[in-house]
């Protein structure tokens, strides 16, 4: 996934679409950071200057689906694993025992714990999609890159006698990617030269969050603004910003 931070205006459409797609129950108090489950969270960035030189940007943060996921290495029950193909870090809630070790381990705070059972206002559970299971309390959950959409795309390919491993770029797109009116999110297979992300990650303006931790995140960000890129890692004062 490549997210253009110069195009995100912080509207939150991706957050709402993610919640609707993944059967996350609505929270009455959305500001309670501990209790709300925001698989996709939009952060607001600041260049740290005072008025009128202040500049702001918004950063949507899904799960990074790291190449070397620290969460996978600490799970005592293998409820989370790095998938063999696709590279999505799976999170299997029936197996999760809720120890939250993975939450402590994730440097991006991308994992959320169900402190409570989900509560839907009467009747709203009729809008649950069959693609994603409903999680009980006591388990950790996180963004899955809408892998159920990939399954659906592969199924359609099988049914139409096409190769499920050679899907066109728009056959599998995440809910957040499609919801964003600005088109700030681009999604695809970074190893496939025909996909747009393959080109975008090579841009000098592309960077990943906290790259020096060695997690190999699969979400790239891009910005023409140097201060935004500089916020992507813990730079020392004398270091030059990437890009």
Identify how many contiguous H helices and E strands the chain contains and give both numbers: 7, 10
Of residues 107 and 243, the one with the C-beta less far from other proteins? 243
**Least distance between other proteins and beta carbon 232 (Å):** 15
Of residues 12 and 107, the one with the C-beta less far from other proteins? 12
Distance in angstroms (rounded) separating the CA atoms of residues 148 and 139: 19
Task: List the beta strands (DSSP E) in 14-163.
Answer: 41-46, 56-61, 80-82, 89-91, 111-113, 140-142
**Least distance between other proteins and beta carbon 218 (Å):** 14
Max CA pair span of the chain:
59
**Least distance between other proteins and beta carbon 56 (Å):** 5
**Least distance between other proteins and beta carbon 204 (Å):** 9
**Least distance between other proteins and beta carbon 235 (Å):** 21
Contact 68, 44 (CB under 8 A): no
Distance in angstroms (rounded) separating the CA atoms of residues 147 and 43: 24
Of residues 166 and 234, the one with the C-beta less far from other proteins? 166
Of residues 106 and 184, the one with the C-beta less far from other proteins? 184
What are the helix (H) ranges across 63-205? 70-74, 101-105, 147-159, 175-179, 196-200
Of residues 11 and 210, the one with the C-beta less far from other proteins? 11
Is there a cis peptide before residue 4, judged by omega within 30 degrees of 0? Answer: no
Report strand pairing: 140-142 vs 56-61: unpaired
Of residues 11 and 213, the one with the C-beta less far from other proteins? 11
**Least distance between other proteins and beta carbon 4 (Å):** 4
């Amino acid at each position: 996934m490549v997210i253009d931070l110069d195009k995100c205006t912080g509207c939150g459409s991706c957050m709402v679409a993610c919640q609707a797609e993944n059967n996350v129950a609505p929270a009455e108090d959305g500001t309670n950071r501990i209790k709300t489950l925001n698989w996709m969270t939009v952060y607001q960035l600041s260049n740290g200057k005072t008025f009128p030189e202040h500049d702001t940007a918004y950063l949507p943060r899904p799960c990074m689906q790291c190449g070397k996921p620290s969460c996978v290495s600490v799970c005592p029950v293998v409820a989370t694993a790095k998938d063999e193909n696709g590279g999505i870090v799976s999170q299997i809630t029936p197996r999760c025992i809720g120890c939250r070790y993975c939450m402590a381990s994730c440097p991006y705070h991308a994992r959320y714990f169900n402190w409570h059972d989900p509560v839907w206002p009467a009747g709203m559970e009729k809008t649950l999609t069959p693609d994603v299971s409903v999680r009980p309390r006591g388990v950790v959950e996180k963004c899955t890159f809408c892998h159920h959409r990939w399954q659906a795309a592969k199924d359609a390919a099988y049914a139409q006698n096409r190769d499920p491993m050679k899907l066109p770029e728009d056959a599998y797109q995440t809910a957040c990617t499609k919801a964003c009116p600005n088109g700030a999110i681009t999604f695809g297979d970074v190893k496939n030269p025909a996909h747009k992300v393959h080109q975008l990650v090579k841009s000098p303006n592309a960077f990943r969050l906290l790259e020096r931790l060695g997690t190999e995140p699969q979400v790239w960000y891009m910005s023409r603004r140097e201060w935004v890129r500089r916020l992507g890692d813990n730079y020392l004062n004398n270091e030059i910003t990437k890009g």
